[in-house]
Structure 1
Amino acid sequence: MSQGVTQLSVVEKLNSASDAEGMLQVVSEFIDTEGIFVFGEILESKRMQENKQSAAYQLLELFAFGTFQDYEKNKNSLPNLTDAQTRKLQKLTVASLAAQHKVLSYQMLQDNLGIDNIRHLENLIIDCIYENVIKAKLDQQGKQIIVEFAIGRDLQDGDLENMIDTLTQWQANSETLLETIQQQKTFIRAEHDAIQAMKDQSARINQQTADTSQQVPNQ
């Protein structure tokens, strides 16, 4: 983890916190740490599991599994976010979207991130790329980004089954694609053989015609 922060040190601070406010401060500082985008293991710690109704748990759960839209819908029941935390949640939202879509339009990103200004959006995407949240190409002319990679976020209950279903569907689609390609190869090969056979037959006819012409005596 960045800046000397370790999971053990965070858990120790949580265990040492005297009240819910102290826990919230520890969690808030942890979220603020640059380069940290995975929160599930801290969320699963004993102290957090014993305080699921606390603001600290709800805040950490948001960053582990949620998106900016989740925060907007439930902000009245969640702790207020700092500007840095808002930006990190937006980056995590980009990661979630990039994991689902190979091409992300500016409009889709703006709708999900609550960013109206195009320049601000592009700056956020550039930060995501620089911090390895995603690997993508920025297509300013087409107003979209082409995704190559996105970091994996924390898994909720049921996510593993969904991933297995997705991979199973991907495998089925791949097998169908391979079968289609094989059929196309077979068709192309058969068409090539037919054309070659026609060429060979034409060559034989031409040769036979030439031979016949040579056998005809001059008048």
Structure 2
Amino acid sequence: MRYCTPICKLKHVFSRNKLKLNIYRSMERKHTVGNGQRSIQSYLEQVQSTADAINLVDQATSSPDLFTFAFLINSPILNSFLSGLEYRKYLNLVRLFAYGTWEEYTSNQTSFPELNEAQATKLKQLTVITLAGREHRLKYSDLLSALDLENSRQIAQLIISCIYASLITARLDTQAQLVLVDAVIAGRDVVEKKDIERLKTVIDGWSMRCQDTMDQLSVEIRRVRHTTIKELKEVTEYNKTVESINQQLTKSIKVSSKSGSKDLDDSISDDHMDIDSSPASDAGFTKKRKQRTVS
């Protein structure tokens, strides 16, 4: 039995609990995101004025559980109340959160209302989703410039918030100054045709990689199967050889045992015959003994 140290047990328990926690977080995020969208949709049905529409936009862009906004962009109610030039900024804000980035906001801030802290954080998280979808090795230097961050600590805080929100799965390599993205869990709205073409290219590339992986697995399966059959034949031949040798040894032992018993019986019989066939010597011995007694 393999001996497992307390540390090994702790690692096993931690790994198992970590897996359960990731599954729970993923399920929890799906639940909360669904609730967030349903909540905003319920508010959308109650919008009766421009002020209600502006308040709804603020809530949607500040909500930590909502990361898709196509249903707001396509809402006739919202578009009707925010169609005036003085309110166009709020529609622009919804489009920005749907498929824009932090850099687009900073380069044209006059086209959008001023962001509060929650909105700024959320837009940066959405920007991380976009960047991670394009490149799985994000340099700290690129993130600093793209997100207007001051140091690597702020990068770590932002990436960790994205991980805990189940937007991406990633690792921080502080020594190499890289964010290593494993997967992008949360998607963003696809509005423009160029985004659809880019998405198609990404999916086609992913499909080709999957096909290559399947081909490699098929080759490996055939190799393992061939090796297994070959080893099975070798084991069968070995067992037959061992069985044959065992049978020969068993026969030899039986033959040797019978031969030894017969020789021993013959030897004992010969000794008895020698003893019984020497009366003359016994008589001579008795005669000599009598002579010594007389004298």
Q: 1:28 aligns with which of 58, 61, 78?
A: 58
The amino acid of 1:20's aligned partner reads T
1:100-179 correspondence to structure 2 within 5 Å: 100-150=134-184, 151-158=186-193, 159-171=195-207
Unpaired runs of at least 5, structure 2: 1-30, 221-295
- The structure whose Rg is larger is 2
More helix by share: 2
Tell me the residue number matched to 2:114.
80
CA distance in 1, matches of 2:127, 2:168: 11
Name the stretch that deviates more: 6-15 or 16-25: 6-15
CA distance in 2, matches of 1:175, 1:67: 33
Q: Which has the higher contact order (CA 8 A, sep 6+)?
A: 1
- TM (norm. structure 1) is 0.71
Conserved in 2, the CA contact under 8 Å of 1:37 and 1:92? Answer: yes
- For residues 164-184 of structure 1, the C-alpha deviation after alignment (integer angstroms, 9 at most, x for no partner) is 1333355567778999x8xxx
CA distance in 1, matches of 2:73, 2:114: 19
- Secondary structure in structure 1 of the residue aligned to 2:108: helix
Tell me the residue number matched to 2:230.
none
CA distance in 2, matches of 1:83, 1:175: 45
Tell me the residue number matched to 1:40.
70
The amino acid of 1:47's aligned partner reads I
- TM (norm. structure 2) is 0.54
Distance 1:56 1:103, change over 3 A: same
Identity %, equivalent residues: 29
CA distance in 1, matches of 2:200, 2:163: 27
Unpaired runs of at least 5, structure 1: 186-219
Conserved in 2, the CA contact under 8 Å of 1:136 and 1:146? Answer: yes
CA distance in 2, matches of 1:9, 1:170: 35
Aligned length: 181
Please identify runs of 4+ aligned residues in structure 1 that moved more than 2 A: 1-22, 48-56, 159-162, 165-179
Conserved in 1, the CA contact under 8 Å of 2:47 and 2:77? Answer: no
- Secondary structure in structure 2 of the residue aligned to 1:84: helix
